Chain A
Amino acid sequence: GAVVSQHPSWVICKSGTSVKIECRSLDFQATTMFWYRQFPKQSLMLMATSNEGSKATYEQGVEKDKFLINHASLTLSTLTVTSAHPEDSSFYICSASGRVNYGYTFGSGTRLTVV
């Protein structure tokens, strides 16, 4: 149990375009989902926390208008990187938390490259 699926696993996009990343809880209801970013050879940093049906809470320094988070259902949260630039190239990973899973299962991550 407690499986978190993330899609796509990798994406290459042109500068200025938008990219959507999906995070799904497959076998439990995720009331909260977390989005992290990891730059090459660095640690994972929390970007935002999303609760189902309400607005996401962003960490300091993360632009909410650039990283749009939607958590419209108990099994799906999406992160959209709008007007992507090369400096947004990173590894994005989500985790989901519900009554049976305390956020220690992560998705497999999405490697975004903006060219």
Chain B
Amino acid sequence: AQKVTQAQTEISVVEKEDVTLDCVYETRDTTYYLFWYKQPPSGELVFLIRRNSFDEQNEISGRYSWNFQKSTSSFNFTITASQVVDSAVYFCALSEADFNKFYFGSGTKLNVKP
């Protein structure tokens, strides 16, 4: 069965600090997709990244970077030089290759203080 675990319920940092959000997943599928979403207080889900199970290359997009390690079933997300606007709930999610339904982690609330 698919399962996504985000052990960090809430993290508080001061602006300009780096922060890493952890995500560990379980699946028996050999083909799957991993995602990160940002959910601001308004509620919408903002897509950040999609990674398939065959691509273990780390990715960097501006201040955001992702570390995908199949050996530890982890897909961690790092924000460098955090800003107040980064404050939100961040969800890690896993989807099956064929049907595209998502299994979400419980989310990590990030508070960035000025």
Contacts and interface: CB of A to CB of B under 8 A. Distances in A.
A109 B44 contact: yes
B102 A103 contact: yes
B99 interface: yes
Contact of A97 (B43, B47, B100): B100
For chain A, what secondary structure do more than half of its interface residues adopt (helix, strand, loop), or is it mixed?
strand
Interface in A64-113: 91, 93, 95, 97, 102-109, 111
B101 A49 contact: yes
Interface size class of A (residues with CB under 8 A): 20 to 34
Interface of A: 32, 34, 36, 42-46, 49, 91, 93, 95, 97, 102-109, 111
Given A34-B101, A93-B43, 8 more contacts: A44-B45, A46-B101, A103-B100, A103-B101, A104-B33, A104-B100, A106-B44, A109-B45
